Every structure is written in structure tokens, then in C-alpha cells.
Structure 1
Amino acid sequence: MDFSEVSKKSALHPKPAELVLQYGTSGFRTKAQDLDHVMFRMGLLAVFRSKCTKSTIGIMVTASHNPEEDNGVKLVDPLGEMLAATWEEHATNLANAEEQCISSALENIAKKEAIDLQQEAFVVVGRDTRQSSEKLVQTVIDGVTILGGKYHDYGLLTTPQLHYMVCCRNTLGQYGTATEEGYYKKLAQAFMNLIKEVSSSTHFPRCLIVDGANGIGALKLKELQHYIQKEFLFSIFNDGTSGKLNYLCGADFVKVQQKPPQGIQMKPNEMCCSFDGDADRIVFYYNDSNGHFHLLDGDKIATLISTFIKELLIKANVDLPVAVIQTAYANGSSTHYLEDIMKVPVHCVKTGVKHLHHKALESDIGVYFEANGHGTVLFSKTAEEKIRSQLKNGSKEEKKAAAMLQYTIDLINQTVGDAISDMLAIEAILAIKGLSVQEWDAIYTDLPSRQLKVKVADRCVITTTDAERNAVTPPGLQVQIDNLVKKYRFSRAFVRPSGTEDIVRVYAEADTQENADTLAYEVSLAVYQMAGGIGEKPNPHIENMFNVTAFTKEKTAIVYP
């Protein structure tokens, strides 16, 4: 294939001088004004990926929970999963190539991946509600079409909806119908089938208060209402009609600030939830009768869902193991409850959704949620076959439980974390189990925690092992951390380098907030002294230190990279 026309077209989408971007778990993200060249080149790359896999590939234009002036792009692989790690490198190299090197960069990818350039390619595209998204999508399409690729532009979608569309197309409809109506009908039918089992004594439907982050999730929730109608009531705030995307609202704001978003008047003990800007994260929360804020984050969500599934498996007499995948940031109380009370194995992996997703694939039923509210449940083919078999061959009670498991499988978006899907699943589980949000919260109590960051000259001096829970270098640092941890009850601490800037992130837990704060300070000081700290030394007055988190008496927000 002659790439000369591609080079000419690429010149119309010039790369800003000295701009270097890295493709990560979230794809590319930066100021929207600097993304034109990236969008064009990701259109090119999507065509190559489609030719290579002989499948439909997705491109989502979004910057998720970032400020409104930002934007971003991520590619979606054939089964709705994130882009393969080996192709992340291709994406980074292509995005950063100088104009005169575009042709050679494409030739290198084609050669390395043995791509049949005559193979047809098909790409589907979606976008969020940012003002810059529509124009950037057109640039993506320019990249797709210059290489002869075909495309379908879905327009406004949540990120999970686009992942769903890609999976549906590549499974020839086995996963569902690749339309918005197909998405809504699948979730609504599964939800309504599940809540048929709700006891008549349970007050249902309840009204859930939803913070839409002034983003795409609010628009799509309004469309979902037509399919669920009276079976599930919810009130949508921060719906984008007046507020700014992700500003003082949304899942990330609530998680970090440990307080309700603006735009919601919370009544005591009323359950609320917040989406993020592209609706792939969700967190729940409420104010108790004393006005104290309670956050139910990804750890609480994973615990409730895994418990529900395990109970149904026992009732259905289906022998399938359930595993929960966490990162080191998961609260220690959640890990203790799962392992010691529920007897559910817990695996810890490196920070980043792709690491959790890959580990979950190793289990027949893998539940993963980051504490920030991004996660889902993966069911293996073996698990689905065993459940379907019991639907046919089990006793009356076993068939009933197996049917509920099947409805749960249909309700969960297995391709990626999905705020709408997870919201429906949590509401159904609480109703079936007859739990209030307060009772859900009381299943276990989070240990007080604190996260801080330390500026260093070179973050690479910190290397870790054991899913980032132990520092290998610099020598002696882990011994110092271990000695500090011994001073406090129920305590642990770890450090890890940031993936994007020269800072080291410090996390600590202990029996009281005061001890967690002190431990975090002491570990931060050890990092500063042993790992080349620069700038102001860590300050024992934690609430003023680096202005990283909002200070609360009982809990502290965890900030994620």
C-alpha cells in the first residue's frame, strides 16, 4: 500500500511541537486543542488493528472524569476489552512520530504485525458530550477513510455502551444487539426478571438519587427510563442542562473530596450515587441522621456483588469458585471480610484496570472493582454452561437460583466497568436481600486511611514487587516501612512511583485516623530521605501536606493516578 496520500492528509493534522503523549489504560488524554493529530493517527491505527484481528474495532472519544476542556481517545479490542498491551506501544509511537515519519511508522507496524493490507477493516466510533468531541470524531473518521476503512458513527454514547457495541458486532449478536435499543432492552429485561424475586414485604421500588456528572451518563439514563418505567425510580441531578462537566460533581469528585456533589440536596439516610463523565465509574453514598457522610466505593460494591453471587451458587448447587481482584489500594477491611468471613479468595494486582481485568479472566467468576468505582464481573464459558445446565436439570429451588444467576450475567456488562449496569445490579441485589444502604454499609467498617505524595528527583529510584506492596529499591526503604508499620495496630503501608510524574505515592492504614495520618507522614519522610526527595519536606500537619486529599475525621479519600 502506498502511504503517500496518508502523509499528505496527515499534514492537515499537524502535531504540536515538542508534545509527547503516552498511551495508557485510559488511552490518550490532554487538552482538546492538542489532540487533532492524535485522533487522525488513531483512526489509522484502528484500521490496522481491524485488519490484523479481522474484527470490528472501536474508538471512543472521551476524557472520562477529566475537566471539560480536556479530551482523549481510546481503542476498543474485538471482545470489548481494552487495547492489547503490545498495540499500546504502536499507539504511542504513531502518536509521537514526526510528520515526515508517518509512512515509515505505518510500514513498521504493518511489517511487525504481519498485516494483510488488502483485508477489509471496520471501525465503530462513539463520543461523549464535550464540545470538542464532535469535531475530533470527524478527524478520527478522516484517518479511518484515508486507509479505505469503513465505519459506523454511533454519535453520543457512554464508554461502556461503545464497548458493548464492539462485542455484539464481533460475536454476531450472541452478546446482544449492537444498538442502543438493544443495550437498554438487555439490561432492562434482566433487571426486571431479577426483581421479580423481591419479597412483597420489601419497600420497592425505591427512588435512587443519581448525580450524572453533567455528562453522557445523565442523557443515557433518561433514555433507559423508557424501558424500565415503574420498575425502578430514579431522580437525575447534574444532568448537563446547566452545570459544567465533572465540575464539583461526579464519581471522582465524591471519591476524592469525601463529600456529596454540588446540585444534590440529600435527605438523611437517602441512597445516592455518582457517575463519572463517561459513565464507566460509579460510587454510592448517603448522609446519616447526624449529617455524617458515608461513601460506599468500589470495595463495597465488589463485596456486595461477590457475596450475592456466592450465595446464589450455593442455592443453585453449582460448584464454581468466585474470586475478587483488588489492588493494594483496596481497604484492608474489605480484604479481611472477603477472605475470612465470606471465604472468597482475593488476588492483588498492580494498579490499573487492565491488570484487574486480565487477572479476573483467570477465574470462573472474577469480580473486580477499583476503589474508584470502576469494575465489573467476568463469567467464563464454563461458568455460564454450568449455570445453564442447572437451569434444566436442577430441583425447583436450584433452578430458581440458577435463573437468578443467568439474569445477573445478562445484567452485568462484562466488557468493561459500566455505571448504568452496576447501578441496576446494586439496586436489584439490595432489594432482593432486603438491605438498606445503611445495612449494606455496615457489612464491614473501613479502616481509616491516608494517601500522600512525595516529590522526588527521579521516580525510577523506586521499584516495587508483590503487586506494588513492597519496595525493592532503594535498598533499606522497605525495612524502614516495615518497622514503622509495627508501631500501629491493624496497620499497613506501601509506596509506589507515579506512572506520569516524578512523585512517589504513599498509602497507609491503621486503627485510627490519627495513626493512619502519622504513619503516612513517617513513611513519606522515609521516602523523602532515602529516595531523593526534593522541595519542601513532608509536614506532620497532614491536612496541609501537598493539599492531596480532603481531611475527614474517620476516612480519607484515596487519589488515583
Structure 2
Amino acid sequence: MGRLFGTDGVRGRANSDLTPELALAVARAAASVLSDRDGTSRPVAVVGRDPRASGEMLEAAVVAGLASAGAEVLLAGVLPTPALAHLTGSTGADLGVMISASHNPMPDNGIKLFSRGGHKLPDAVEAAIERSVAGGTSDDHRPTGAAIGRVRALPDAAEDYARHVLSTVDRSLEGLTLVVDCAHGAAAATAPDVYRRAGATVHAIGCEPDGWNINDGIGSTHLGPLIDAVRTHGADLGIAHDGDADRCLAVTADGDVVDGDAILAVCAMALHERGALKDDTVVATVMSNLGFHHTMRDAGIAVHTTAVGDRYVLEALKAHDLSLGGEQSGHLVFLEHATTGDGLLTGLALMARMSSTGASLAELAGVVQKLPQILINVPVTDRIAVAESDAVAEAVNAVEAELGDDGRVLLRPSGTEQLVRVMVEAPTQEQADEVAHRLAGIVASVG
């Protein structure tokens, strides 16, 4: 068996890569690994899903696996991933299981696991679950009789989460007109209601999930419909979520896209002004544009940089006792209020900043002047040879000296393919293109 866990849980084509049998085995193993109580009480697991059709099948398998391991199962129904993480913590459960493939197309699905408190699993725990699945060790103990787990609905799960995110907003959003795109996903039943209760006038699109249309030409990966709707309604802004609502991207009143870098900058500066940004530091990944770094530097905010992936952002926040981090893709983590990326929290924070300053989204996001960027995927036969090449290192050093503080170079081997990604930012697109192709040629000659 290959590695089960990717950067965000177990994911694959439903009923092909991610089968009911595998879902059952993962659930049983997770219940065994994550339940370390003294044996006097049965483990508790909260299960949620997004509305894609295969979620019904996989939910049944996950529930069977958990109950067969002796776990009490609380069914939360269709709701966002951050809601499932919150409920795992608020119920005191041992385990949270979210069945979702996030922004992926409908044929895919996934299983995201959370430990006590609603935290994503560290690598060591994922490895233990993988070993259990591969070795069948979770089958060593099968409870019978009264020891078999029971299953019941978790009442008011979505309302519990709605109250939680609304508690983070200390002012009414009255006067703001919003178009929210729910991607025909898990946010459809929660996001429009939450934004209305916060005081905004809300127009909703992508709120008719049928099991098949999640992320289909809509949501945070397809912003065209949102841009059109913002212009049609004359809205102050648009907010786009993905299938499980752990992301948030935005659109200005004029239809310009505001990415995660700009949203992170706006939220960081808001916390910084209130003295609520711990250590005056924000966490971002290596993919954040150099313009973001310049904006943070000018505002007196330090940037702690991590590898790509919201799990690494989370790890850095916890390790350094920081309060805010995020990615270009729109995953933002407000650690005071959430244990994972939360699109609704992000949307509320962004709109609260607009309300408190009286500034438009374009004015707020305009503080980040993005540098022209190019990304080239270079096919290679040996990623390790490229990483260890003196010729590549010398070329990169030369380009970095050439660009100075006005540009940036990033060479990143793919984690899944024989590719090396060459990313360059420079003062002009022409310079970025020239430098990137120059480096790509050297990488190709070595690899």
C-alpha cells in the first residue's frame, strides 16, 4: 500500500481510489489510534460531509468503521470543514471525520481527520493510522454486544457553528452588500444565513447543491460567475468559498480578484492596529508574493515563512504561539477562534475591516502591490540531482544577487511528479520571464 495521507487527508476518485472498504478501514484505524482513554468510556467521533453524492456512500462506510471499533458516532450532516473541526472540540470528541474533497471536482472525495480539540493530525499519527490500515491491526479487537458503538444525530450542529463564528464579529455589517458564492457546496446551508445575521445584505449564488454540481464552474476556483453577480447587484464585494468552505477569496465592487495574500495582509494589519497580532508576526507560505512581504515590512509586521500547505501554517502558528497565518489560495487560520482554515471567519473579518474603516475592499487590498510572477514546471528525470546540483545553486545565487530586494526566486521539486517548479518574481513581467526561462534551461540540463 502506498502512502494514504496527502497534504490534507486521504483523497482520491470516489469508489475507485477512495473505496468504501478503504474508508471503513481508515475509520476503524483512526478510532483505535486516536482513542487513548482508560477504557472505562467509549470513544466519541463526530462525522460530517460536504454534499457531493459519493459522500453518502462514504459516510455510511466511515460510520460502520467507527461503530465497529466501539465508538459513539455523532452525525453532524452536511456542513463546512471548519464547522466539523469546531464541533470536534466543543463536544469533547476524541475524533472528527470530515468527508470532503474541498475544491476538487465532484468525482473526487476525501477523508479529513481531526484529533481532540479539532486539530489536524501530525505526521506521526497519520503514519500510525497508515500502519494500522496496512497491517490490519485495527481488526485485532472487535467489540461485540453492548460494546458495539451507537450512532445518533448531533442536534443543532450547524447552528452551534454559526453562533461560534458570529461571536467573533464585534460590530454590525449593516450597510454592506455582499454576493456570496457557496460553490454548491457545504457552505450553502450556512454562509448566507451567517452573513445576513451579521448585518449584511446578502445575494447568494452556488447555493443549490444536488450532489453532482459541487465546484462545477463556480466557487473559489471559478470566479467568473461571482464577478458577474457582483456587477449585476452593484454589491460592495463578493466572497467565494470552495466546496467545504475552508477557503475564502474575494472580489471588489469593480470585479477585481482579491487573493489570499491581500486578504491576509488586510486581516493582519487590522489585528496589528488593535494590538492583537501576537509578536507582530504573521505566517505565510513560500508562495506568497514578494509584494505581500514588502507590505508587511512597511507596516511593522514580521513574516514567518513555511512550506506550502495549511497544515504547515498551523504547525508554525502553534509552535511559535502566533495568531494569524494563511495562503494565497485563501486558507486563513485565526488561531484564537479556529483550529483550521475557516472561510466564513475570514469573510466576516474582511467585512468587519471594511465596516470599521469605511474603506472599500479595493482600497484595503490595494496596500499589496504584487510583483509580476511566472511559474514554469520543468520536467526532469531526477529531482534529487537538481536539488543537489552546484550548477543550479550557482545560477540561483547569481539571479538572487541580480534581483536583490526587488525580486525573488523559488525552486521547488514537486512532491508527486518528476517536475521542478521554477518561480520568479521581478519588477517587470519581461524580466521575470527572462530569468525564469534562463533558470528553467539550467534545471532541464541538469535533471
TM-score by length of 2: 0.79
**Structure 2 counterpart of 1:127:** 49
Q: SS where residue 414 of structure 1 aligns? A: coil
Query: How far apart, CA to CA, are the structure 1 residues paired with 2:431 and 2:217?
Result: 30
Question: Using a 3 Å threshold, how does the CA distance of structure 1 residues 304 and 263 change in structure 2: closer, same or farther?
Answer: closer
Confirm or deny that 1:286 pairs with 2:208. no
Instruction: Determine if contact 1:126/1:155 at 8 Å carries over to the other structure.
Output: yes
Confirm or deny that 1:240 pairs with 2:208. yes
**Structure 2 counterpart of 1:28:** 10
Instruction: Determine if contact 1:448/1:516 at 8 Å carries over to the other structure.
Output: yes
Confirm or deny that 1:480 pairs with 2:438. no
Instruction: Determine if contact 1:21/1:28 at 8 Å carries over to the other structure.
Output: no
**Identity score, percent:** 25
Question: Using a 3 Å threshold, how does the CA distance of structure 1 residues 320 and 419 change in structure 2: closer, same or farther?
Answer: closer
Q: Deviations over 1:250-294 (max 9, x none)?
A: 21344xxxx665873635784212111110011112364xxxx63
**Structure 2 counterpart of 1:251:** 220
Deviation at 1:520, TM superposition (A): 2.0
Counterpart pick for 1:297 among 252, 259, 269: 259
Q: Deviations over 1:320-369 (max 9, x none)?
A: 52311111110101111112x11111111111211111111234443111
**Structure 2 counterpart of 1:366:** 323
Within 5 Å, give how 1:6-405 maps onto structure 2: 20-34=2-16, 35=18, 36-52=20-36, 54=37, 120-170=42-92, 179-191=157-169, 193-195=170-172, 204-224=174-194, 227-228=197-198, 231-240=199-208, 244-254=213-223, 264=229, 266=231, 270-286=236-252, 288=254, 294-313=256-275, 321-339=279-297, 341-379=298-336
One-letter amino acid of the structure 2 residue matched with residue 224 of structure 1? V
Question: Using a 3 Å threshold, how does the CA distance of structure 1 residues 45 and 446 change in structure 2: closer, same or farther?
Answer: same
Query: How far apart, CA to CA, are the structure 1 residues paired with 2:50 and 2:80?
Result: 7
Aligned pair count reads: 385
Question: Using a 3 Å threshold, how does the CA distance of structure 1 residues 260 and 46 change in structure 2: closer, same or farther?
Answer: same
Deviation at 1:24, TM superposition (A): 2.0
Give the gaps of 5 or more residues in structure 1.
Answer: 1-18, 55-115, 199-203, 380-412, 464-472, 533-561
Instruction: Determine if contact 1:485/1:519 at 8 Å carries over to the other structure.
Output: no
Instruction: Determine if contact 1:459/1:501 at 8 Å carries over to the other structure.
Output: no
Q: Deviations over 1:222-241 (max 9, x none)?
A: 4436744xx11221112235
Deviation at 1:127, TM superposition (A): 0.6
Query: How far apart, CA to CA, are the structure 1 residues paired with 2:69 and 2:63?
Result: 10
Query: How far apart, CA to CA, are the structure 1 residues paired with 2:355 and 2:189?
Result: 25
Deviation at 1:436, TM superposition (A): 0.2
Q: SS where residue 183 of structure 1 aligns? A: helix
Query: How far apart, CA to CA, are the structure 1 residues paired with 2:25 and 2:12?
Result: 15
Q: SS where residue 417 of structure 2 aligns? A: coil
Question: Using a 3 Å threshold, how does the CA distance of structure 1 residues 239 and 263 change in structure 2: closer, same or farther?
Answer: farther
Give the gaps of 5 or more residues in structure 2.
Answer: 95-115, 119-154
Q: Deviations over 1:453-479 (max 9, x none)?
A: 11112333344xxxxxxxxx1222121
Instruction: Determine if contact 1:322/1:367 at 8 Å carries over to the other structure.
Output: no
**Structure 2 counterpart of 1:504:** 420
Query: How far apart, CA to CA, are the structure 2 residues paired with 1:361 and 1:233?
Result: 36
Query: How far apart, CA to CA, are the structure 1 residues paired with 2:207 and 2:39?
Result: 44
Q: Rg larger in 1 or in 2?
A: 1
Deviation at 1:117, TM superposition (A): 6.8
Deviation at 1:480, TM superposition (A): 0.7
Query: How far apart, CA to CA, are the structure 1 residues paired with 2:320 and 2:184?
Result: 36
After alignment, is 178-187 or 515-524 more displaced?
Answer: 178-187
Question: Using a 3 Å threshold, how does the CA distance of structure 1 residues 486 and 190 change in structure 2: closer, same or farther?
Answer: closer
Query: How far apart, CA to CA, are the structure 2 residues paired with 1:22 and 1:171?
Result: 24
Query: How far apart, CA to CA, are the structure 1 residues paired with 2:228 and 2:273?
Result: 38
Query: How far apart, CA to CA, are the structure 2 residues paired with 1:319 and 1:153?
Result: 36
Q: CA RMSD in A?
A: 2.9
Confirm or deny that 1:421 pairs with 2:313. no
Query: How far apart, CA to CA, are the structure 2 residues paired with 1:319 and 1:514?
Result: 37
Instruction: Determine if contact 1:50/1:122 at 8 Å carries over to the other structure.
Output: no
Instruction: Determine if contact 2:373/2:429 at 8 Å carries over to the other structure.
Output: yes
One-letter amino acid of the structure 1 residue matched with residue 249 of structure 2? V
One-letter amino acid of the structure 2 residue matched with residue 22 of structure 1? L
Question: Using a 3 Å threshold, how does the CA distance of structure 1 residues 415 and 246 change in structure 2: closer, same or farther?
Answer: same
Query: How far apart, CA to CA, are the structure 1 residues paired with 2:303 and 2:206?
Result: 36
Query: How far apart, CA to CA, are the structure 2 residues paired with 1:272 and 1:210?
Result: 6
Query: How far apart, CA to CA, are the structure 2 residues paired with 1:45 and 1:510?
Result: 48
Query: How far apart, CA to CA, are the structure 1 residues paired with 2:379 and 2:53?
Result: 35
Query: How far apart, CA to CA, are the structure 1 residues paired with 2:33 and 2:193?
Result: 32
Q: SS where residue 130 of structure 1 aligns? A: coil
One-letter amino acid of the structure 2 residue matched with residue 349 of structure 1? T
Instruction: Determine if contact 2:382/2:418 at 8 Å carries over to the other structure.
Output: yes
Instruction: Determine if contact 2:180/2:226 at 8 Å carries over to the other structure.
Output: no
One-letter amino acid of the structure 2 residue matched with residue 480 of structure 1? A
Q: Deviations over 1:290-320 (max 9, x none)?
A: xxx632211111111111111112xxxx895
Query: How far apart, CA to CA, are the structure 2 residues paired with 1:438 and 1:427?
Result: 12
One-letter amino acid of the structure 1 residue matched with residue 215 of structure 2? N
Query: How far apart, CA to CA, are the structure 1 residues paired with 2:4 and 2:433?
Result: 33
Query: How far apart, CA to CA, are the structure 1 residues paired with 2:362 and 2:163?
Result: 31
Instruction: Determine if contact 1:323/1:363 at 8 Å carries over to the other structure.
Output: no
After alignment, is 493-502 or 279-288 more displaced?
Answer: 279-288
Deviation at 1:29, TM superposition (A): 1.1
One-letter amino acid of the structure 2 residue matched with residue 244 of structure 1? N
One-letter amino acid of the structure 1 residue matched with residue 203 of structure 2? S
Within 5 Å, give how 1:400-479 maps onto structure 2: 413-463=337-387, 473-479=388-394
Instruction: Determine if contact 1:448/1:510 at 8 Å carries over to the other structure.
Output: yes
